[in-house]
Chain A
Amino acid sequence: MTTHWIAIWFGRALILAGFLAAWQLASGTLIPKMFVSDPISIIETIALWIADGSLWNHLATTLVTLLLGYGLGAALGIAAGFALGLAPFADRTLAPFIAAFYGLPKVALLPLFVIFLGIGIESKVALVAVVVAFLLFYNTRAGVRDVDPDLINSLRLMGATQAEILRKVFVPVTLPWIYTGLRVAVGYALTSTVVGEVLSSNRGLGFLIESSAGRFNSAGVFAAVAVLVALSLLITATLTRMEVSSSRWRM
């Protein structure tokens, strides 16, 4: 069994090495270097960015935008999900309007945010917040609707106050739904951050991709993409680890 896994990992390393070697060799011979760059130039570009410190600036901008937008959007979405989940009439009245807004590709709102909030991180934070808020809203509302009315009625019979019902029934029932929403929203938030930066910004990983592409600096584009890939892998790995440790108690 162990030798089997060693063979698999060896095969994987071989595929990766073969891919990088083929890329390096094909670049400049089979395919113009301007289109695909090559692994060595990409690593050199990343090393250069690390040396002059610009990489950390851009990475920090992207991360701050991501976190602010995510936090703001999650708070708004959860609050709205509870509010409408607990008010069926308002919920049914507003449902078609919310659905219509949900259908709009949210990135189309970015120019509006840039006009109102400027080219700084605020406009991207707003974009990420809108994207995340919708996901959390729908998940939280589904969770609130999932609450068994019998549970509420029996607690009422036992003389529980509204606050107690909220704490003892709604929070535990909706928590897994909110958790799922939070987990899914991370990927969307990262995508929106970077797309927002690509479209209009003056800092961040997305800006690095776009400004390198604008100067036909393919090594720069691929270097920025490589950093982005590393960042998303790191985020995914962290989330997976958190999931494993937080769901130990579950059956």
Chain B
Amino acid sequence: MSDAARITVARSAVLLGFLTAWELSGRFFDATWTSTPSLIAMQLADWAHDGLAWHIAVTLTEMAIGLAIGVPSGILLGLWLGRSPLPASLLRPFIVALNSVPVVALAPILIMWFGLGMEPKIALVTLVSFLLLFFNTFAGAQAVDADWIAALELMGATRREQFRKAVAPACVTWIFAGLKNALPYALIAATIGEMMVARAGLGFLITSSSAVFDMTALYAVLVVLMLLGAAVNTLAESSEAFLLRWRPTLSEAR
């Protein structure tokens, strides 16, 4: 048997074994706390006709709007501050302080400001993605090789040309590193916001099912969130690989 086939067989065996053990322990002992895979599957099938898509859409909308505001503003501020030495050195201790603060813990403030709808979740995703992109772009803009700028200046490049030819391309890798973090973090932030107070979304489904000890529903949401998280991670990684395909990878560079 080929190596790949052996791995596939082993993976299926692990998955099947796990699901069978779970199912049997629920059937023969007690399914109150552990539920069973079949119950969870039925719950998901039920939801598929009734509202699950809506909750997923709410969570995804919060992520999308938050990212659409936070990412560009973070990049712009990072580029500007990274190329402005005086404001940057004045603000440095504040930036360092901000970087060490657990921002998602500020969600209660946002709820106090924006109420119970989608707005505080969008604000939280915006804040988190803004900060991630800002810190990365700022670091990237400051790390631009000073020799390049000096050479461009010598050739008579304007500030605008320097920016377009040296600063922006040099920051791209940093920006994508930030973006790759921001995507999964947006899902985390939206979920946290929904778990605090909400009327819709996957985080709301988690808290509402755990509040009534509906374990089957709770596991079902976790399955959905797991698939969504895996999809978001795959998207983040493959889009980085695609957009930075011109860059030699570490193994090629060796």
Contacts and interface: CB of A to CB of B under 8 A. Distances in A.
B108 A210 contact: yes
B206 A111 contact: yes
B161 to A, nearest CB: 30
Interface string A114-135: 1110000000000000000000
A94 B15 CA distance: 9
Contacts of A12: 90-91, 93-94
A194 B210 CA distance: 20
A35 interface: yes
A236 B102 contact: no
A86 to B, nearest CB: 17
Nearest to B111: A213
Given A198-B196, A221-B112, A112 B105 contact: no
A114 B184 CA distance: 24
A218 B101 CA distance: 19
Contact of A190 (B102, B221, B228): B102
Given A232-B100, A233-B97, A107 B108 contact: no
Interface in A70-112: 89, 92-94, 96-97, 99-105, 107-112
Interface residues of B, number: 53
B16 interface: no
Interface string A184-199: 0001001100110011
B226 A195 contact: no
Interface string B7-27: 100110011000000000000
Contacts of A108: 191, 195, 202-203, 206, 221-222, 225
Interface stretch (B65-73, B76-84, B229-237): B229-237
Contact of B218 (A94, A111, A209, A232): A111
B61 interface: no
Contacts of A190: 102
Interface string A1-24: 000000010011001100000000
Contacts of A100: 226-227, 229-230
Contacts of B188: 105, 107
Nearest to A222: B109
A12 B95 CA distance: 12
A220 to B, nearest CB: 10
B94 A213 contact: no
Nearest to A199: B195
Contacts of A228: 101-102, 105
Contact of B100 (A109, A111, A218, A236): A236
Contacts of A110: 195
Given A107-B191, A111-B206, A228-B101, A93 B7 contact: yes
B192 interface: yes
B90 A15 contact: yes
22 contacts: A12-B91, A15-B94, A93-B10, A96-B11, A99-B230, A103-B226, A103-B229, A107-B191, A107-B195, A108-B191, A108-B202, A108-B225, A114-B210, A115-B210, A190-B102, A191-B102, A195-B107, A198-B105, A209-B105, A209-B108, A213-B111, A228-B102
The 7 lowest CB-CB distance pairs between A and B, nearest first, are: A103-B229, A111-B210, A213-B108, A191-B102, A103-B230, A194-B105, A236-B100
